[in-house]
Amino acid sequence: MDSQTAERTAQSPQVTEPRNPGMALDLDWVAGVQANTSAIERRAASLPGRRSVKKDYQAAWLLKAITLIDLTTLSGDDTAGRVRRLCAKARQPVRADLLDALGVDGITTGAVCVYHDMIAPAVQALQGSGIPVAAVSTGFPAGLSPFHLRLAEIEESVKAGAQEIDIVISRRHVLTQNWQALYDEMKAFRAACGEAHVKAILATGELGTLRNVARASLICMMAGADFIKTSTGKESTNATLPVSLVMIRAIRDYYDRTGYRIGYKPAGGISKAKDSLVYLSLIKEELGTRWLMPDLFRFGASSLLGDIERQLEHHVTGAYSAGYRHPMA
């Protein structure tokens, strides 16, 4: 892809896919899913060195990455003022002078992700922008609150204006291989979301094996997930390339069998611009260009945007700037 094509892609309006309706639980398919850990790790290790983009091409791909960020604040000390400032950053994620120098306008992040209590100020601050508000739910991050309260939390967040709900699955269902329980749970979460799209957080760092990750990914898609997501960002191990490869290939298999495209969201630990380029190349190679759109791919990140903006300033001026010149809020 040349730099002009990449820039056009970065500014393309969001395309909508037919929503995944889910399917009946197919335990034979689940049982047949395996993961060759050594092969997966070799493929993942080769990625950073196999694809490299420079100069205008790199700037174009970094602009694309910005449009795929779920700009996130999930801290106990979040305030309405902080969320409003973060939403202002989502509306204009890169300084105007840099965008002018790059000949680009209309860039926004993919979404803003917050806790339930911060939905109202986020919705108000993003009004008219077209940027959706995503809310974490279902007892995030552990997912251990009573089931009826997890369902109620989803319903309250949708009522408050969240257009996307990031739910957490019960890890114990995966660790005990109770696939029916995981399927039923995910179905209930999807139903509670209504028209809001649901991202299923697998908390892959707590699932034990890559085979568990592959099977949990498939179960969640069968139950109607619109996205599958690696992590809450609160685990000791978050998004990694081996886990991403497993989940992406599960998405590809589901699409090949059902015709429905499921989105992917790596979250946690992706803070450098060069890392975002590796993930974008992985998506393009494994799933194709169609998945490089906000309705099918997101980065769950907060600090990533700051490093991308610094790299874009270096591209324009030839010098790296201090981080304080690119505040998040």
Predicted confidence at residue 329, as pLDDT, reads 62
Number of domains in the chain: 1
Domain for residue 238, yes or no?
yes
Nearest to 6 by CA among 81, 103, 75: 103
Predicted local distance difference test score (pLDDT) of residue 12: 43
Q: What mean pLDDT do residues 128-156 have?
A: 97
Q: Of 253, 213, 243, nearest to 23 (Cα)?
A: 253
In a domain, 98, yes or no: yes
| CATH number of the CATH domain containing 47 | 3.20.20.70
Q: What is the mean pLDDT of the chain?
A: 93
* Per-residue H/E/C for 21-38: CCCCCCHHHHHCCCCCHH
In a domain, 21, yes or no: no
Strands 164-168 and 197-201 turn out to be parallel
Contact by Cβ (8 Å): 304, 62:
no
| Selected residue with higher pLDDT from 4 and 52 | 52
Q: Structural domain of residue 50, as residue ranges?
A: 26-325
Domain for residue 166, yes or no?
A: yes
Dump pLDDT digits (tens) for 297-318. Answer: 999 988 899 999 999 999 999 9
| Lowest-pLDDT range of 130-134, 234-238, 320-324 | 320-324
What pLDDT band is residue 322 in, cutting at 50, 70 and 90?
confident
Q: Strand, coil or helix: what is 309?
A: helix
Would residue 180 count as lying in a domain? Answer: yes
Q: Check: CB of residue 171 under 8 Å from CB of residue 204.
A: no
Q: Residue 158: what are its φ and ψ, rounded to 5°?
A: -65, -45
In a domain, 278, yes or no: yes
Q: In what order do the strands lie in the sheet with 299-301?
A: 263-265, 227-229, 197-201, 164-168, 133-136, 111-114, 69-72, 299-301
* Cα gap 222→272, rounded to integer Å: 33
Percentage of the chain exceeding pLDDT 70: 93
Tell me what the mean pLDDT of segment 161-175 comes to. Answer: 98
The answer to the question of residue 153 being in a domain is: yes
DSSP 290: G
pLDDT over 90 at 173, yes or no: yes
Establish if 72 belongs to a structural domain.
Answer: yes
2: confidence class by pLDDT, cuts 50, 70, 90: very low
Picking from 186-195, 222-231, 297-306, 319-328, which range would have the lowest pLDDT averaged per residue? 319-328
**Residue type present at position 327:** P
Active site residue ranges = 166, 229, 265
